[in-house]
A = this chain, B = another copy of it.
Amino acid sequence: MQDTIERPYHHGDLRRALIETAMAMLQEGKGWQFTLREVARRAGVSHAAPYKHFPDKAALLTELALVGFDRLREAFDAAKPPDPASVKDELVAAARAYIRFGTANPALYRLMFSTEDKASNIHLSARALGAFEVLTALLARGQAAGVFRERPVQGQAAACWALCHGITMLAIEHLLLPEKVGAGAVEAALVTLFEGVAQD
């Protein structure tokens, strides 16, 4: 939106500005291959300034991924159906929210789930697995209610996560095009998943 911001010698909050600028560039197209030097340029500082706030580019990417996981959680919360809802509806809503988040933010989603270009994935896996635990809790409730098949929850959760992750990734890479894979492939895939999870 805005171009270089006018500022004094000291940028008020350069760290935040760098994150925001980098996030904008990430979404803009070329993925995480944006240039640290251009981030600095857009933020209106010298190309060396970012190194006072991040040890290297990988650290900035990690920061972006963490923001991504926060936003994913917000998307979940926003998608949660109003209170008296069946577990099944909750699962459906969560799955749809997940896929929508990923396809709406392809570069960010890819970054969140790729280790090869980021620093210590320890915080990242922590957040990813946080979401995973919400999922297992949901499935456990469904099993207790007799709505879902009684299977080891971890495996059931892995199936749900993997299917949603897979759909999201394939959609991002334009491999679920309707003319090849059929219109509504996403919806249909979810049906098969739910038939595997739900009690007959």
Contacts and interface: CB of A to CB of B under 8 A. Distances in A.
Interface stretch (A46-54, A77-85, A169-177): A169-177
Q: Is the interface of A mostly helix, strand, loop or mixed?
A: helix
Q: Can you tell how many copies of this chain the complex includes?
A: 2
A125 B179 CA distance: 12
Interface in A149-181: 149, 151-152, 154-167, 169-170, 173-176, 180-181
Contacts of A181: 129, 132, 154, 157-158
A114 interface: yes
Contacts of A195: 149, 195-196
Contacts of A175: 113, 125, 128-129
Interface residues of A, number: 56
A200 interface: yes
A176 B188 contact: no
A100 B33 CA distance: 29
Contact of A125 (B158, B169, B174, B182): B174
Interface string A179-194: 0111011111111111
A110 B159 CA distance: 20
Contact of A165 (B30, B152, B166): B166
26 contacts: A33-B117, A107-B116, A113-B169, A121-B173, A121-B174, A125-B174, A125-B175, A128-B175, A129-B175, A132-B180, A132-B181, A149-B192, A154-B182, A154-B185, A155-B188, A156-B188, A157-B181, A158-B170, A158-B176, A158-B186, A159-B163, A166-B167, A192-B193, A192-B196, A196-B196, A200-B200
